A = this chain, B = another copy of it.
Amino acid sequence: MKSNNPDFAELLREYGSKATPGRVTLLKVLWQEDKPISVAGLKKKLDPSFDEVTLYRALESLTASGLIREVDFRHGHAHYEMNALREHHHHIICTSCGRVEDTECRVQEAKLTKASAFRIITDHTAEFFGLCNSCIKTA
Protein backbone atom coordinates (compact mmCIF):
# COMPACT_ATOMS: atom_id res chain seq x y z
CA MET A 1 0.00 0.00 0.00
CA LYS A 2 1.24 3.45 -0.91
CA SER A 3 0.07 6.97 -0.24
CA ASN A 4 -0.15 9.85 -2.70
CA ASN A 5 -1.73 7.88 -5.51
CA PRO A 6 -1.12 9.50 -8.88
CA ASP A 7 -4.04 10.24 -11.20
CA PHE A 8 -4.11 6.94 -13.09
CA ALA A 9 -6.62 8.11 -15.69
CA GLU A 10 -4.47 11.09 -16.54
CA LEU A 11 -1.34 8.95 -16.58
CA LEU A 12 -2.94 6.54 -19.04
CA ARG A 13 -3.85 9.40 -21.36
CA GLU A 14 -0.34 10.82 -21.16
CA TYR A 15 0.93 7.49 -22.43
CA GLY A 16 -1.54 7.43 -25.31
CA SER A 17 -4.05 4.99 -23.88
CA LYS A 18 -7.74 5.41 -23.23
CA ALA A 19 -8.55 5.70 -19.54
CA THR A 20 -11.02 2.84 -19.35
CA PRO A 21 -12.22 1.62 -15.94
CA GLY A 22 -10.36 -1.66 -16.42
CA ARG A 23 -7.04 -0.03 -17.23
CA VAL A 24 -7.34 2.42 -14.37
CA THR A 25 -7.90 -0.47 -11.96
CA LEU A 26 -5.08 -2.48 -13.50
CA LEU A 27 -2.68 0.41 -13.15
CA LYS A 28 -3.71 0.94 -9.56
CA VAL A 29 -2.98 -2.70 -8.74
CA LEU A 30 0.43 -2.48 -10.38
CA TRP A 31 1.15 0.73 -8.50
CA GLN A 32 0.32 -0.91 -5.18
CA GLU A 33 2.54 -3.92 -5.81
CA ASP A 34 6.09 -3.59 -4.58
CA LYS A 35 7.44 -6.17 -6.99
CA PRO A 36 6.69 -7.50 -10.49
CA ILE A 37 3.48 -9.52 -10.60
CA SER A 38 2.38 -12.33 -12.94
CA VAL A 39 -0.79 -12.44 -15.02
CA ALA A 40 -2.16 -15.08 -12.64
CA GLY A 41 -1.36 -12.79 -9.73
CA LEU A 42 -3.11 -9.90 -11.41
CA LYS A 43 -6.20 -11.97 -12.11
CA LYS A 44 -6.48 -12.77 -8.41
CA LYS A 45 -6.33 -9.09 -7.48
CA LEU A 46 -8.72 -7.97 -10.19
CA ASP A 47 -12.46 -8.48 -10.36
CA PRO A 48 -13.24 -11.96 -11.79
CA SER A 49 -15.25 -10.22 -14.52
CA PHE A 50 -12.05 -8.66 -15.88
CA ASP A 51 -11.60 -10.61 -19.08
CA GLU A 52 -8.29 -12.44 -19.45
CA VAL A 53 -7.79 -11.50 -23.09
CA THR A 54 -8.46 -7.87 -22.29
CA LEU A 55 -5.87 -8.13 -19.56
CA TYR A 56 -3.27 -9.57 -21.92
CA ARG A 57 -4.01 -6.88 -24.48
CA ALA A 58 -3.82 -4.10 -21.90
CA LEU A 59 -0.48 -5.41 -20.64
CA GLU A 60 0.88 -5.56 -24.17
CA SER A 61 -0.33 -2.06 -24.98
CA LEU A 62 0.90 -0.45 -21.77
CA THR A 63 4.24 -2.21 -22.09
CA ALA A 64 4.64 -0.91 -25.65
CA SER A 65 4.01 2.65 -24.47
CA GLY A 66 6.49 2.31 -21.60
CA LEU A 67 3.94 2.92 -18.87
CA ILE A 68 4.61 -0.55 -17.45
CA ARG A 69 7.46 -2.99 -17.95
CA GLU A 70 7.78 -6.74 -18.48
CA VAL A 71 10.30 -8.63 -16.35
CA ASP A 72 11.59 -12.18 -16.79
CA PHE A 73 12.05 -14.12 -13.55
CA ARG A 74 12.57 -17.44 -15.39
CA HIS A 75 9.25 -18.74 -14.13
CA GLY A 76 8.01 -19.58 -17.59
CA HIS A 77 5.59 -16.64 -17.59
CA ALA A 78 5.90 -12.87 -17.66
CA HIS A 79 5.82 -10.52 -14.71
CA TYR A 80 4.90 -6.84 -14.92
CA GLU A 81 5.67 -3.78 -12.88
CA MET A 82 5.09 -0.05 -13.02
CA ASN A 83 7.69 1.67 -15.15
CA ALA A 84 6.55 5.30 -15.22
CA LEU A 85 7.12 7.40 -12.09
CA ARG A 86 9.82 5.00 -10.94
CA GLU A 87 13.55 4.97 -11.30
CA HIS A 88 14.95 2.44 -13.76
CA HIS A 89 16.21 -0.57 -11.83
CA HIS A 90 16.64 -4.35 -11.84
CA HIS A 91 16.01 -7.27 -9.47
CA ILE A 92 17.66 -9.97 -7.40
CA ILE A 93 15.52 -13.10 -7.17
CA CYS A 94 15.96 -15.90 -4.64
CA THR A 95 15.76 -19.17 -6.56
CA SER A 96 14.74 -20.97 -3.39
CA CYS A 97 11.92 -18.89 -1.88
CA GLY A 98 11.13 -16.43 -4.66
CA ARG A 99 11.97 -13.34 -2.65
CA VAL A 100 12.58 -10.30 -4.86
CA GLU A 101 14.65 -7.23 -4.13
CA ASP A 102 15.13 -4.15 -6.28
CA THR A 103 18.66 -3.31 -7.24
CA GLU A 104 19.98 -0.19 -8.85
CA CYS A 105 21.08 -0.26 -12.48
CA ARG A 106 24.80 -0.03 -13.00
CA VAL A 107 24.70 -0.77 -16.75
CA GLN A 108 26.00 1.91 -19.05
CA GLU A 109 24.43 1.49 -22.46
CA ALA A 110 26.48 4.32 -23.90
CA LYS A 111 29.71 2.37 -23.48
CA LEU A 112 28.24 -0.50 -25.46
CA THR A 113 27.52 1.57 -28.52
CA LYS A 114 31.22 2.33 -28.72
CA ALA A 115 32.34 -1.28 -28.37
CA SER A 116 29.90 -2.78 -30.88
CA ALA A 117 28.35 -2.46 -34.32
CA PHE A 118 25.23 -1.06 -32.68
CA ARG A 119 24.86 2.72 -32.48
CA ILE A 120 21.44 2.60 -30.83
CA ILE A 121 20.65 0.59 -27.73
CA THR A 122 17.10 1.16 -26.56
CA ASP A 123 16.67 -1.21 -23.71
CA HIS A 124 18.25 -3.95 -21.65
CA THR A 125 17.49 -6.74 -19.26
CA ALA A 126 19.53 -7.47 -16.13
CA GLU A 127 18.20 -9.76 -13.44
CA PHE A 128 20.22 -11.53 -10.77
CA PHE A 129 19.55 -14.95 -9.29
CA GLY A 130 20.82 -16.33 -6.03
CA LEU A 131 19.93 -17.25 -2.48
CA CYS A 132 18.62 -14.74 0.02
CA ASN A 133 20.09 -14.72 3.49
CA SER A 134 17.28 -16.64 5.18
CA CYS A 135 17.45 -19.39 2.55
CA ILE A 136 21.21 -19.68 3.05
CA LYS A 137 20.68 -20.35 6.76
CA THR A 138 18.07 -23.08 6.23
CA ALA A 139 20.20 -24.77 3.55
Contact = CB atoms under 8 A, between A and B. Distances in A.
Interface residues of A, number: 34
Contacts of A104: 115
Contact of A136 (B106, B119, B130, B132): B119
A132 B103 contact: no
Contacts of A58: none
A119 B131 contact: yes
Copy tally for this chain in the complex stands at: 2
Contacts of A1: none
Contacts of A33: none
Contacts of A108: 106
B94 A118 contact: yes
Contact of A120 (B103, B116, B130): B130
A94 B128 CA distance: 23
13 contacts: A92-B116, A101-B117, A103-B116, A106-B107, A106-B111, A107-B126, A109-B128, A112-B128, A119-B131, A121-B129, A123-B130, A124-B128, A125-B126
